[in-house]
Structure 1
Amino acid sequence: MMKTGKTLLLIGATSDIGRATALAYAMAGWNVQLTGRRPDAIEREAADIRTRSGSEVTVHQLDILDSTRIETFVDGLPSLPDTVVCVVGELGDQTRAERELDHATIVMRTNFEGPALLLGVLAERFAARGTGTIVGISSVAGDRGRGSNYIYGAAKAGFSAFLSGLRNRLASTGVRVVTVKPGFVRTRMTAGMKLPPLLTAEPAEVGKAILTAAEDRKGRDVIYVRRIWWPVMMIIRAIPEPIFKRLKL
């Protein structure tokens, strides 16, 4: 394996998608900076990735909901990364979020506010340098609000809009912004859910798709990991509202 000399910052390292993405980059010769709230758990992942890839992997503590420490966190990194991938997410419980303000707040802040604020800070550093790639993991749930998960979906819709605006603003700076929508993924977060096989990806599949999409400078800006999601969501978005609101989705 050849070393690239490049560095990935992975936000949300203890998630299944985060681990798979970090490993995909490390196996491709990248140095990796792993972040999360629990350094002890991250260090176990880091040790495994080092052993399997031979790449340099460092561990950094970050609470995505503590906006007061975001700039301090970025300043404290050993180096400004070439690429940042933010996989932070919280599915939450829709019924609980409808009744408990605190739970709804956590879902919204974890999926939108925290990631957007952090990527905004990194975007300014990347723009000043003139290079960099920003990858945000959004969701097909944000393409149209559905009664079964509209709290989560609304937060992801906001995050998608943020990434779109950031991409538009930075288009002439040398900084690339990519939105990835994995669809269903077989992870601990979806354990127990009945997932349609054709629409369901594995974490390793998502990690490889992120690496491929992010490093293709002429590639698409919005990526559905399984392309079947594009026509599926196009159809769902096209359903007239009077009909849509009678559907149980």
Structure 2
Amino acid sequence: MSKILIIGATSALAHETAKHFATEGADLLLAARSPEKMTAIASDLKVRGAGRVETFEFDASDLHRHQELFDATFEAFGELDMLLIAHGTLGNQKLCEESVAETLKELNTNFTSVVSLLTIAANYFERRHRGVIAVISSVAGDRGRKSNYVYGTAKGAVSLFAQGLRNRLAASGVTVLTIKPGFVDTPMTAKLRKGLLFAKANVVGEGIYRAMKQKKDIVYLPWFWAGIMLVVKSIPERVYKRLSLG
């Protein structure tokens, strides 16, 4: 059975994805900041059929503990087949505009910490010549918008980094999957007004699971966001900069 490390395991998308792996009897190591939430999720996954479920209290912003997390995973499972990086924050754009410190904090959480984790994982899987590295980016990284360009910058950088990593690891037989969700109804977006484009977390979680199993390179979730972003990216900058896209 697969041995999977899930970082940001208490997020709605990570939990929904983990449910599908649990039904296969996978061994799961959950890493997140809240031990209470992880305990509840671990119990749920065990009921659903997971083999072993271990937890590791972990703040991704603490870069010095990243290697420790992987060491704990190897100690628990001996090896690793898949990694899902699902942590992140949707920061306050206005606050970021007013504060360099706040901007750097968001970039550290959503980009720098991801790069650190991806680098450690890439070196491990490259030596094994197999494995799946999946990272949740966002459609927000495809083009900057005034309402969330700090978040979008981080996600766009993550997508670009993953693209380079995918090119590097292709010869080693390692899959690097970039996941680009659109709007998803989760606690992270609780303050946003919901519209027709909002998807349910369980739908996106199933999409992530299938993409990891099928060893995809890039996936937009739900699928229609690929078309939407194709149109958005085709708009000339002289026109785009005058648009009010929220």
Same fold (TM over 0.5): yes
The 8 Å contact of residues 27 and 55 in structure 1, kept in 2 or not, is answered as no
The 5-angstrom pairing of residues 41-190 of structure 1 reads 41-77=37-73, 78-79=76-77, 80-190=79-189
Q: Which residue of 1 aligns with 2:238?
A: 242
Contact 1:18 1:87 in 2 (8 A): yes
Cα distance in 1 for partners of 2:149, 2:39 equals: 34
Deviations 1:39-84 (A, max 9, x none): 2321121112112335321101222111112112211221332000
Shift of residue 134, structure 1, vs aligned partner? 0.3
Per the alignment, in what secondary structure is the counterpart of residue 171 of structure 2?
A: coil
Match of residue 232 from structure 1: 228
| Runs (5+) with no aligned partner, structure 2 | none
1:140-173: CA deviation from partner (whole Å, max 9, x where unpaired): 0000011111000000000000100000000010
* Cα distance in 1 between the residues matched to 2:68 and 2:162: 22
State the AA in 1 paired with 2:149.
Y
Are 1:202 and 2:161 an aligned pair?
no
- Percent identity over paired residues: 38
1:213 maps to a residue whose letter is: A
For 2:104, what is the secondary structure of its paired residue? helix
Aligned residues: 242
Q: Which runs of 5+ in 1 are unaligned?
A: none
Shift of 1:27: 1.6
Give TM-score scaled by structure 2 length.
0.94
Helix, strand or coil at the partner of 2:61: coil
Give distance in 2, aligned partners of 1:41 and 1:227: 30
Q: Distance in 2 between matches of 1:157 and 1:140?
A: 8
Aligned AA for 2:188? M
CA distance, structure 1, for counterparts of residue 191 and residue 35 of structure 2: 28
What is the identity, as a one-letter code, of the residue corresponding to 1:202? K
- Deviation for aligned residue 1:100: 2.0
Q: Deviations over 1:94-116 (max 9, x none)?
A: 00111122321221111111012
- Partner Cα distance (1:53, 1:112) in 2: 33
- Partner of 2:177: helix, strand, or coil? strand
Q: Would you say the 8 A contact 1:181–1:222 is kept in 2?
A: yes
Rounded to whole Å, the distance in 1 between the matches of 2:12 and 2:53 is 17
Which shows bigger deviation, 77-86 or 175-184?
77-86
Counterpart residue identity of residue 16, structure 2: A
- TM-score normalised by structure 1 residue count: 0.93
SS at match of 2:48: helix
Measured in 1, the distance between the counterparts of 2:172 and 2:161 equals 17
Equivalent position of 2:10 in the other structure: 14
Task: State the Cα deviation string for residues 182-228 of structure 1 (Å, max 9, x = none).
Answer: 1110001111322332x2221111111111111114xx411011121
State the shift of 1:89 in Å. 1.3
Question: Which amino acid is the alignment partner of residue 49 of structure 1?
Answer: L
- Read off the aligned partner of 1:22 and give its amino acid letter: A
The SS at the match of 1:234 is helix
